Amino acid sequence: MGGRKGYSLNRIVGDISKVKSEKKELLRGIEDNNPKKVVQATAGILAKSDASLESLAHSFLFVGSIKERDYKRLSEQDTKERRKELAKKWAAYRKEKGKKFDASTNRDVVDSATRVLGGTG
C-alpha cells in the first residue's frame, strides 16, 4: 500500500522559529485527535510562511492559467497522461515566471492539479 510522503515542517515552511507556538498547537491538536485545532494551527503556520504562501499562490495562478479548452481536454484524459502534460505545463509556467521550487513542491502542485482537473480518469 502506498501513501503520501511526509516532510519536516522546516522543509515546508522554512524558518520554523516564526511558527513555534503554531507548531505546538498543531502537535497538541494531533495528539488530542482534534481536527479543528489541527486545521487552525496549520492555517496559522501557512499564514506566517513566505515559502508556503508563495508556492500556494503560484499553484493557484498555474491552475487558473490553464485555458478553458485545455481544461476540458485535460479533464477527459486518463490520470497518467494528464499528470505528464501538467508536469510539462508547470515546468513552462515556472520558467516563464522565473520561479524555482523544490521537487516535493513541484510534485505536490502537479498531483493537486491532476486531481482538480481530473474527474475519475
Q: Is the dihedral of CA 89, 111, 29, 40 positive or negative?
A: positive
Residue pair 22/46 in contact by the 8 Å Cβ criterion = no
Cα(78)–Cα(120) distance, rounded to whole angstroms? 8
Q: Which residue has the higher pLDDT, 88 or 16?
A: 88
> Quick one: pLDDT band at residue 5, thresholds 50, 70, 90?
low
Each residue's pLDDT tens digit, 37-77 = 999 999 999 888 888 888 889 998 998 888 888 888 998 89
Length of the chain: 121
Each residue's pLDDT tens digit, 16-36 = 888 899 999 999 999 999 999
Amino acid at 11: R
Amino acid at 70: D
pTM over 0.85: no
Cα(50)–Cα(36) distance, rounded to whole angstroms? 23
